[in-house]
Amino acid sequence: MIQIIRTTPDNPDFIKLIALLDKDIQLRDGEDHSFYDQFNKTDSIKNAVVAYEDDKALGCGAFKVYEGSTAEVKRMFVIPESRGKNIASKVLAELESWAKELSFSSCILETGKKYPEAIALYKKNGYSITTNYGQYKDIDDSVCFSKSIS
């Protein structure tokens, strides 16, 4: 059974999963990695979740304040051997629930065109493609999403 725990970015399992995520991103993004990497630091993140099965960390995600009542979903990852088991959807649902409890009314996020599985995940979970926001505004490879959670 999958258990999702709420934690902080200091959680050792979250840190290990993020290291795996960063390796995957670096491979996929290639020479564009340094641009995206600057926006993937956990300094401003206070809310993170980790998914476990039998005490093994399988996936994670986080959110941070974007502006006003909008939370930005960050650092979504599931280890390759556990993909296709609905873990990412469970992580995302927990992030949305937590954000809603903290009075956020919407979530936004950015992923890339090189991540078709992420695009499919967000569409499956009710996110709509929106105009690229903030630092992603003029980035052709970015795909931004939004969802009302109120």
3-state secondary structure of 32: helix
At how many degrees (to 10) do helices 116-124 and 87-101 cross? 50
On the question of pLDDT at 34 being above 60, the answer is no
**Residues 73-101 pLDDT 10s:** 999 999 999 999 999 999 999 999 999 99
Answer yes or no: are the C-beta atoms of 145 and 129 closer than 8 Å: yes
The model's pTM: 0.92
Higher pLDDT, 13 or 43: 13
